[in-house]
Amino acid sequence: MSWQQRIEEALNERRAADAFRSRSPVTQGVGRWRVANGQRWLNFSGNDYLGLSQHPAIVSAWQQGAERYGTGSGGSGHVTGYSEAHQQFEQRLAEWLGYPRALLFISGFAANQAVIAALLRKEDRIVADRLSHASLLEAASLSPAQLRRFAHNDSAQLATLLAKPVDGLQLAVTEGIFSMDGDSAPLAEIASVTQTAGGWLMVDDAHGIGVSGREGRGSCDAQGIKPDLLVVTFGKAFGLSGAAVLCSDEVADYLLQFARHLIYSTSMPPAQAVALNEALAVIRSDDGEARRQRLHEHISRFRRGAEQLDLQLTNSGSAIQPVIVGENSRALALAEKLRDAGCWLTAIRPPTVPAGTARLRVTLTADHRTEDIDRLLEAMHGVRQ
């Protein structure tokens, strides 16, 4: 088989399964509206949960950062790419979340890959929630350690797997809020069984940071735990991009020696760190609190309305409110009809979610207005007829 044939075959398989993915460019920002080709839709597919990607103070902080530092960081953090802006943001983040240290990464994907690759050895075992993000599961399966997956949110099964004999060390892995279902992990139980087994716990709180907990400190704060490794990302509620690992002094020093994604990759632009500092200030402020409040009102309104329409929701209290529809073709057709009705959302299909559970992934943001939620519900009612 030639390269050409192999690629064509893979593409054809995807097309035949209604699983072919493509992208379409937007003309303007990604807040309440999606604007493209001179048309606009209400946007129910972004992760900008607090609407901060359009926040004037944060946009202006990025501009000022670029004036002071220029556009790029010029190298890896180990060479020229670590600025006072990076340092200040790491310190403020660590202080806010109650950890000795925070280390910045250019993305959540890179942070998860780096931590798992740097920490685990052949004799070790990773025990991860079955629905963990691709960046975690992929890192775990690439790692030389043994990978075991526990049923979604099943801390009893986690305990059973951790109790099996192992030569090395154990790392339990889960998320604060799951990307495709929007539900929360039972973090207190998970932390307790992991501690009993003498392992470490890593929590990826990409969807909880900024949104849940006191002042938006995230899922771990909301559930009163402090994992050994906490990963937070800035592409969602922070409205920017990048990520950080919160950990002890020793783990931070270790990652600075051994995390290849830090050492062999250009660090984020200093101007972005300036903007992240401003985003953190907004998240902690009354403005941030009002945004969280608004978001939670939208979530309740959507769930009440969807229940009245008898839509199949998940057990989610978060900004991610998937409507399960089953078949890929049906999810695609419904998403297209909703677009015709002015509401933009995406059909999420296997392999991102289990087969037979294709869904319309609705995400809500503080930027939406009450009437937007009602309009989405009306459109959903309409397309079902």
Ligand X SMILES: *Cc1c(COP(=O)(O)O)cnc(C)c1O
Q: Letter for the amino acid at 144?
A: P
* Beta pairing partners, 102: 246
The interface region with ligand X, picked from 7-15, 28-36, 103-111, 276-284 by CB under 6 A, is 103-111
Binder to ligand X among 53, 73, 83, 107 (CB under 6 A)? 107
Site for ligand X in 297-316 (CB under 6 A): none
Q: Are the C-beta atoms of residues 177 and 183 closer than 8 Å to each other?
A: yes
Rounded CA separation 130/66 (Å):
41
Helices (H), 17-98: 56-69, 84-97
175 is an interface residue for ligand X by CB under 6 A: yes
Nearest to ligand X of 178, 200 (CB atom): 178
What number of residues does the chain have?
385
Q: How far is the CB of 177 from ligand X (least distance, A)?
A: 8
Q: Are the C-beta atoms of residues 126 and 146 closer than 8 Å to each other?
A: yes
Binder to ligand X among 243, 252, 283, 325 (CB under 6 A)? 243
153 is an interface residue for ligand X by CB under 6 A: no
Q: Could you tell me the CA-to-CA distances from 355 to 27, 326, 328 in Å, in that order?
A: 33, 8, 9
184 is an interface residue for ligand X by CB under 6 A: no
207 is an interface residue for ligand X by CB under 6 A: yes
User: What single-letter DSSP state applies at residue 215?
Assistant: G
What is the total count of residues that contact ligand X (CB under 6 A)? 15
Q: Find, among 294, 301, 175, the residue nearest to 231 by Cα.
A: 175
The interface region with ligand X, picked from 106-114, 221-229, 271-279, 304-312 by CB under 6 A, is 106-114
Question: Coil, strand, or helix at residue 310?
Answer: coil
Q: How far is the CB of 106 from ligand X (least distance, A)?
A: 8
The interface region with ligand X, picked from 19-27, 204-212, 255-263, 337-345 by CB under 6 A, is 204-212
Nearest to ligand X of 135, 146 (CB atom): 135
Neighbours of 26 (CB within 10 A): 15
The interface region with ligand X, picked from 161-169, 201-209, 250-258, 296-304 by CB under 6 A, is 201-209
Q: Are the C-beta atoms of residues 155 and 188 closer than 8 Å to each other?
A: no
Q: Which long-range contacts does 287-293 make (Cβ < 8 Å, 24+ apart)?
A: 288/50, 288/210, 288/215, 288/216, 289/215, 290/366, 291/50, 291/51, 291/52, 291/366, 292/50, 292/211, 292/216, 292/366
Q: Are the C-beta atoms of residues 361 and 335 closer than 8 Å to each other?
A: no
Site for ligand X in 309-348 (CB under 6 A): none
218 is an interface residue for ligand X by CB under 6 A: no
Q: How far is the CB of 233 from ligand X (least distance, A)?
A: 4
Which residues have a catalytic role annotated?
Answer: 47, 133, 175, 179, 204, 207, 236
The interface region with ligand X, picked from 101-109, 155-163, 221-229, 277-285 by CB under 6 A, is 101-109
Nearest to ligand X of 51, 379 (CB atom): 51
109 is an interface residue for ligand X by CB under 6 A: yes
Site for ligand X in 43-72 (CB under 6 A): none
Binder to ligand X among 235, 305, 317, 342 (CB under 6 A)? 235
Q: Which residues contact 332 (CB under 8 A, 6 or more apart)?
A: 18, 347, 349
Nearest to ligand X of 102, 166 (CB atom): 102
233 is an interface residue for ligand X by CB under 6 A: yes
Q: How far is the CB of 268 from ligand X (least distance, A)?
A: 11
135 is an interface residue for ligand X by CB under 6 A: yes
Using only C-alpha atoms, the chain has a radius of gyration, in whole angstroms, of 21
204 is an interface residue for ligand X by CB under 6 A: yes
The residue to which tokens 């099996």 are assigned: 164
The interface region with ligand X, picked from 77-85, 105-113, 157-165, 313-321 by CB under 6 A, is 105-113
Q: How far is the CB of 265 from ligand X (least distance, A)?
A: 13
Q: Find, among 326, 304, 300, 324, the residue nearest to 314 by Cα.
A: 324
Binding site for ligand X (CB under 6 A): 107-109, 112, 133, 135, 175, 179, 204, 206-207, 233, 235, 241, 243
